[in-house]
Amino acid sequence: MAVDQPTHAAATPAGDQSRIHDIGYRGYDGPRLGRAYARRSLYSQSLRGAYGLGRSVKSKVLPMLLFAVMCVPAAIMVAVAVATKAHELPVSYTRYAIIMQAVISLYIASQAPQAVSRDLRFKTVPLYFSRPIETADYVRAKFAALASALFVLTAGPLLVMYAGALLSKMDFAHQTKEFAQGLVSVALLSLLFAGIGLVIAAFTPRRGFGIAAVIAVLTISYGAVSTLQAIASTQDSDSAIPWIGLFSPITLIDGVQSAFLGGSSAFPGGVGPSHGEGVVYVLVVLGLTAACYGLLNRRYQKVGL
């Protein structure tokens, strides 16, 4: 009944050369790179995201600003040291992160929720887990990305200081050793802070709450610990000071580096933990980091699909 239309009508060239032709569906026969590749991609996407790269201009402002705030004092110190031909930098590599802890806290509070709460809040998580990657891959990629972002934030100024120290011809061996100790210290700090920030953020899907909760945990614990330490110091119970220091993230890092990494302690009276106590500090740092990783895994087992 119907007139037999030539079925190729659509394929005959249309007069307009600028027209885009629908070439139909093409399959994909190329390689599928699997879980490890997906994990790496998620890592790099999250790391870039932690500095607002690949995101809107608005979300670049805060992380970039905080990075600048971290680096500017280091640059000023270097400039002063070079100008005055000093033989030592005014602040040691290990002290720097402790002094700048407020900036680090702000960074982790703003970026941890951005790394995980968005996926939870917009329910993007099921799209990941309907693909080859599994819970542990997701958690590891996010953890590693935020820890790396924090490392960039904390090691960046150290690099500025080290470069400045070498430029002003300070003792190379001494500077290198201290710089390396500083790097180990900020690496530990990055792991610990990333873990704490991610756990809090993963349990508070609302971004605002996440930010507030991270800041609260970091500052309240530090405030409480340093107050108790001060009280202990005035009560002449100096032996209690190192043990109190175990209860806040930043004093934990302070303790580890003053015990093993040649740092001077910010504890009252400059009394850092002894080597024996330092071992406890290291164990607590590693234990907390592992606990955060475990908690994150458990959290994501639940939110699956």
Q: Give me the least distance between CB of 16 and another protein, in Å please.
A: 17
130 binds another protein (CB under 8 A): yes
Residue 134 vs 277, nearer CB to another protein: 134
Contact residue for another protein among 87, 123, 169, 206 (CB under 8 A): 123
Q: Give me the least distance between CB of 113 and another protein, in Å please.
A: 13
| Total interface residues for another protein by CB under 8 A | 36
H or E stretch at 14: none
Identify residues 82-121 at the interface with another protein (CB under 8 A): 118-119
Instruction: Identify whether the C-beta of residue 117 lies closer than 8 Å to the C-beta of residue 205.
Output: yes
User: CA–CA separation, 114 vs 116, rounded Å?
Assistant: 6
Q: Give me the least distance between CB of 97 and another protein, in Å please.
A: 31
Identify residues 24-83 at the interface with another protein (CB under 8 A): 24-28, 30-35, 37-38, 41-42, 45, 54-56, 59
> Which pair of tokens denotes residue 202?
């993963």
Residue 59 vs 221, nearer CB to another protein: 59
Q: Give me the least distance between CB of 20 and another protein, in Å please.
A: 9
Q: Give me the least distance between CB of 22 and another protein, in Å please.
A: 8
Residue 37 vs 172, nearer CB to another protein: 37
Question: CB-hemisphere CA count at 13 Å for 100?
Answer: 29
Identify residues 138-167 at the interface with another protein (CB under 8 A): none
Q: What are phi and psi of 216, to 5 degrees?
A: -60, -50
Q: DSSP characters for 162-214?
A: HHHHHHTT--HHHHHHHHHHHHHHHHHHHHHHHHHHHHHHHT--SHHHHHHHH
Contact residue for another protein among 208, 223, 294, 304 (CB under 8 A): 304
Residue 43 vs 260, nearer CB to another protein: 43
Q: Give me the least distance between CB of 129 and another protein, in Å please.
A: 6
41: Cβ–Cβ under 8 A, 6 or more apart, which residues? none
Residue 131 vs 298, nearer CB to another protein: 131
Contact residue for another protein among 2, 3, 14, 305 (CB under 8 A): 305
Instruction: Identify whether the C-beta of residue 282 lies closer than 8 Å to the C-beta of residue 260.
Output: yes
Short-list 150, 158, 160, CA closest to 104: 150
Q: Give me the least distance between CB of 57 and another protein, in Å please.
A: 11
Short-list 181, 159, 176, 157, CA closest to 259: 181
Contact residue for another protein among 51, 93, 107, 128 (CB under 8 A): 128
233 binds another protein (CB under 8 A): no
Residue 10: left if φ>0, alpha if ψ -120 to 50, beta else—which one? alpha
The overall longest dimension of the chain from CA atoms, in Å, is 105
Query: What one-letter code names the amino acid at 23?
Result: I
Residues that bind another protein (CB under 8 A): 24-28, 30-35, 37-38, 41-42, 45, 54-56, 59, 118-119, 122-124, 126-134, 304-305
